[in-house]
Amino acid sequence: MNYELTTIVGLGSGYLALLFGIAFATERGLIPEKIVRHPIVYTLSLGVFASVWAYYTSIGNALRDGYGYLAQSIGISLVFLLSPLLLRPLLELTRTYQLSSLADLMAFRYRSPWAGTVTTLVILIGVTPLIALQIRAVADTAGILSPELSQASMAFGFCVIITLFSILFGTSRRGSRTQHDGLVMAIAFESLVKLVAFLAVGAFAIFGGFGGMEGLEQWLQDNPHLITSLKETNYLSSFHIMSLLFFTAAVAMPHMFYVTFNENNGQRALSYASWGLPLYFLLLSLPVLPILWAGLQSGSEVQVEYFPVVIGVAYDVPFFTVLAYLGGLSAASGLIIVITLALSNMCLNHLILPIYQPTAQHDIYRWLLWKRRVLITALIWSGFLFRYLPNQQISLQVIGTISFTAGLQFLPGIVAILYWPQANKKGFMSGLGAGVATWFIFLTLPLLTEGDTLSLVSLNWHEVAAFSLILNSLFFVVVSLRSTSTDEERSSADICTLDTIKRRKRSGLVAKTPNDFIKSLSKPLGDKTANREVSQALKDLDISHDDRRPYAMRLLRGRLEANLSGLLGPSIARELIDGYLPYSIVSQHGTSDLNVIENRIEAYRSNLSGMAADLDNLRRYHRQILLDLPLGVCSLSSDDEIIMWNRALEDFTKISSANVIGSQLADLPEPWLELLENFIRDDAEHSYKHSFDLNGHKKTVNLHKALIEKSSDLGSSHEGIIILIEDITEIETLEAGLSHSERLASIGRLAAGVAHEIGNPITGIACLAQTIRDEFEDNELQNLATQIIEQTNRTSKILQALVNFAHAGTNQTHYENEIVIIADCMEEARTLIFLDTKNKDLQLHIESDPQAKISGDSQRLLQVLLNLVSNARDASQADGEVSLQASVNNDQVRITVTDEGIGIPPIIRDRIFDPFFTTKEAGDGTGLGLSLVFSIVEDLKGDIDIISPANKATGTGTQVILRFPCYHGDMESVNDSMNQ
């Protein structure tokens, strides 16, 4: 096999240039977002796990272990098939707290920067051989294709291009928190290339190598030892531990953690990957056996692992050799790019930042970016230098096994994160120490000290791996149980553990506003960075810059810690937040953060099933009852933080619950603060008819309170207080109106009695005057008598009007049915109006058509006119003009009362006929006038209209229009129509 040097280099460079192109096009938005964010792209990018190990090493594994080579696919597939048990909760955790690597996760859960540092170191030592393995595979295959090509220079060139790519598309000023779409797209493309290449080479092996399935079957029958070795079950001894190795690697290996959690764009993508990735690995495992057998049949002397590259040339179709080479290049480059990116973040956060942190004068983002770039370069080139170590004859399989066994040591720590809250830092560190020591002494040391492959095999690596895991777990469990966890550890265990929804303590913060946050964080981060981080956290939480609620400030603190954790790692972030944004008082009792618990249950709701889901439904039902209660409900914690503010209270106070929940009672605006504070301080549990002023309107409420009993005996006497606020303003107004009307009625009865009593002597006087007029012939005496009679008539009329007015609107059920001459009625109204001294300056113009007559009760119509004129007078200036007109039009009598007053505001126009609605000062009006007018007009078969403003030009004045059926005929017809 001898390819031109230029062909190999050209192919490799061309392929990597294509990768650059895809990543560049994605970053520039040339590829539609629908494609970039599609779950299939995410699933394919997870194919980065199928490195040179799956591509080349599995061929050798298949020869040695038979079906045992499937252990890798089974291990990784199981993690994804069972993603709800491990990956989903971890994804939620890493997204919420911005944990970008396994070291971040360990440091976060075990609350120790050392946990992160040790994790980073172990992974760094374990993974460097894996990087070297990729570089070696690329150089080896290039060497097989073109023997005159220097493998060292090929590896060198490959490393240069990969370094450039990682730096350009894997690092950005935004740090590790953002997704790198270009990178993901390029990795997904690589996964697709290696799958297609491998499947094509596999198909070629069957059809090109054996002439089809029958040929293959025939060849296998001729070589029965191959089938026998394939199905021998002696590989089962290492099969389980091998599967476990790859099961753990799916989370522990930095490249998988990075793509699975950091580049994930939603649970839906993970759901796709849960079956898509097992399918990918299944397809990738399928061609392994045909390629192996075709290679064996060809009699090639090349290392078994590199059969995919060999068979194309062996069967005279060089195209498949090139394809296989490109597939291998994809597998190697994808892994190196992602693994060095992930490792650079880990090294920065857990090895460099704990020792040296940039000062506030630095542009932190720029500083981090450059450090990350330097680290990526260092990591790739350390993999390159690894090839210069002795023992180059160690097989790819041994190197890979050592790497993955290092990752296995994190299995107990990872499982405990989700399922064992008692686990603590000491347990984790001692378990990891024991496991790693076993791994190093029995697996790695023999290799470094002139051991060779055989010595490793003689040590029986899978027994060492199992032993190290058992020792690790044993130390982990025993030390965790025998040592005590700190409060911090317990709190992070609560956050991480799936089934623990404990009541978290709530405390006040020294920083009270977002500006205080910026000021505090400016000291370590500098003004610019602090400003940017706080603004970003506020934006993430959708909280306003002016918010001062303690609850919002606690959320902001948590979000800042998470965001800084994505930038600087969880240990440094926690150190910064604890140091510069401390709690003022740590409450000891009764202040569990109910709002946070509630948010958490809401977020995890879909994870609840069975009785937990029933309990959640019950909780929601009870909460809904309180929220929808037509009474205002406000509940306060024992330290006066507002926990609940229901809808009725929102409507009544016009304060939205989103703005008030989580704030202190003292932050409430007046008059609510005074109202609630006084009531809470008061010993009484109920306060009835409590009146206060709200925006110039009198409001009346009934208040009730109850203490929320504490569930445990510790600490304060109660857990909080619940207050019910009942708005009784309308009932109160109604009651006041009724009692006013009752008073009016009694005054009316009094007036009627008085009028009756005065009426008798007046009648006597009138009789005597008539006698004098008729009996005496003296003209002067007759004149005097006539005047007395006129005056007594007038007095009688006034008294009669008074009596009628007093009777109207009371319980009188019998009304007169007579012909009412509107002009007379208007005159009578004038007489009565001017009796009131308030009306002495009023200019009342009366104009009536003599034909204007209606049938009905004149006294009731009089009452209507009096009320309307009286309202018109009240709305007008002291010397205002009011006109009263009556006309006949189309069998209708139209009466208008027009004033030049201020008019009726549109906002109250709909309510003016409501009983007890008044705009007058208390005591000046009952609010019954217009309502009475309305009902009387209806009784008289008329209708009423109001035009305001009456004068459109000046925007003033009101005109009330009454329309009644006109009377034409005799009284009988009137009676008939009334009866109908």
Partner 1 sequence: MTVYIPRPMLILLMIIYVLFLLSVDWINQVDGAWYRPFLVGFLVVIVASWSHRKQDSDEL
Q: Rule CB under 8 A: which residues touch partner 1?
A: 67, 70, 73, 77, 81-85, 92, 220, 227-228, 230-231, 233, 266-268, 271-272, 274-275, 278-279, 282, 285-286, 289, 419, 498-499, 603-604, 606-610, 612
Angle at 909 between CA 905 and CA 911, to 5 degrees: 130
C-alpha span between 133 and 54 (Å, rounded): 12
C-alpha span between 260 and 254 (Å, rounded): 10
Of the pair 607, 657, the CB lying nearest partner 1 is at 607
Of the pair 207, 275, the CB lying nearest partner 1 is at 275
The three-state (H, E, C) secondary structure of 275-337, written as one string: HHHHHHHHHHHCCHHHHHHHHHHHCCCCCHHHHHHHHHHHCCCHHHHHHHHHHHHHHHHHHHH
**Nearest distance from residue 502's CB to partner 1, in Å?**
13
Residues near 389 by Cβ (< 8 Å), separated by ≥ 6? none
The burial class, CB within 10 Å (0-12 / 13-18 / 19+), for 156 is middle
**Nearest distance from residue 77's CB to partner 1, in Å?**
8
Angle at 184 between CA 180 and CA 187, to 5 degrees: 140
Tokens of 677: 């504070």
**Nearest distance from residue 606's CB to partner 1, in Å?**
4
**Nearest distance from residue 312's CB to partner 1, in Å?**
22
C-alpha span between 459 and 445 (Å, rounded): 12
Of the pair 272, 386, the CB lying nearest partner 1 is at 272
Of the pair 82, 481, the CB lying nearest partner 1 is at 82
**Nearest distance from residue 205's CB to partner 1, in Å?**
13
Q: Please answer whether residues 967 and 974 qualify as being in contact, where contact means their C-beta atoms are separated by less than 8 angstroms.
A: yes
Of the pair 85, 708, the CB lying nearest partner 1 is at 85
Of the pair 499, 685, the CB lying nearest partner 1 is at 499
**Nearest distance from residue 657's CB to partner 1, in Å?**
24
Q: Please answer whether residues 916 and 737 qualify as being in contact, where contact means their C-beta atoms are separated by less than 8 angstroms.
A: yes
Of the pair 285, 563, the CB lying nearest partner 1 is at 285
The closest of 892, 832, 898, 834 to 868, measured between CA atoms, is: 898
Tokens of 553: 């400030």
> Dihedral through CA 207, CA 212, CA 217, CA 222, nearest 10?
-70
Helices (H) and strands (E) in the chain, counts: 43, 12
**Nearest distance from residue 494's CB to partner 1, in Å?**
13
Of the pair 338, 496, the CB lying nearest partner 1 is at 496
**Nearest distance from residue 85's CB to partner 1, in Å?**
7
- Alpha carbon of residue 383 to chain centroid: 44
**Nearest distance from residue 279's CB to partner 1, in Å?**
5
Of the pair 244, 567, the CB lying nearest partner 1 is at 244
**Nearest distance from residue 261's CB to partner 1, in Å?**
14
Q: Please answer whether residues 957 and 901 qualify as being in contact, where contact means their C-beta atoms are separated by less than 8 angstroms.
A: yes
The closest of 595, 561, 553, 593 to 108, measured between CA atoms, is: 561
How far lies 35's CA from each of 22, 23, 39, 41, in Å?
A: 13, 13, 9, 7
**Nearest distance from residue 26's CB to partner 1, in Å?**
26
The burial class, CB within 10 Å (0-12 / 13-18 / 19+), for 602 is exposed
The DSSP annotation for 383-410 comes to HHHHTTSS-TTS-HHHHHHHHHHHHHTT
Of the pair 267, 513, the CB lying nearest partner 1 is at 267
**Nearest distance from residue 274's CB to partner 1, in Å?**
5
How far lies 358's CA from each of 103, 174, 367, in Å?
A: 21, 16, 7
Of the pair 268, 909, the CB lying nearest partner 1 is at 268
The CA-to-CA distance between both ends of the chain, in Å, stands at 118
Backbone angles phi and psi of 451, in degrees to 5 = -70, 165
Of the pair 67, 257, the CB lying nearest partner 1 is at 67
Q: Please answer whether residues 259 and 46 qualify as being in contact, where contact means their C-beta atoms are separated by less than 8 angstroms.
A: yes
- Peptide linkage before 354 cis (omega within 30 of 0): no
C-alpha span between 159 and 165 (Å, rounded): 10
Of the pair 24, 604, the CB lying nearest partner 1 is at 604
Q: Hunting for tokens 């790739």 — which residue is that?
A: 380
C-alpha span between 78 and 243 (Å, rounded): 9
> Dihedral through CA 487, CA 492, CA 493, CA 499, nearest 10?
120
**Nearest distance from residue 335's CB to partner 1, in Å?**
23
Length of the chain (residues):
980
Of the pair 86, 394, the CB lying nearest partner 1 is at 86
Of the pair 273, 375, the CB lying nearest partner 1 is at 273
- Alpha carbon of residue 542 to chain centroid: 9
Residues near 774 by Cβ (< 8 Å), separated by ≥ 6? none
C-alpha span between 283 and 718 (Å, rounded): 63
Strands 718-727 and 686-694: unpaired
Of the pair 608, 722, the CB lying nearest partner 1 is at 608
How far lies 833's CA from each of 619, 802, 843, 937, in Å?
A: 66, 12, 11, 20
**Nearest distance from residue 310's CB to partner 1, in Å?**
21
Q: Hunting for tokens 């009764």 — which residue is that?
A: 590
**Nearest distance from residue 286's CB to partner 1, in Å?**
6
Of the pair 221, 711, the CB lying nearest partner 1 is at 221
Of the pair 29, 212, the CB lying nearest partner 1 is at 212
Tokens of 343: 């490792």
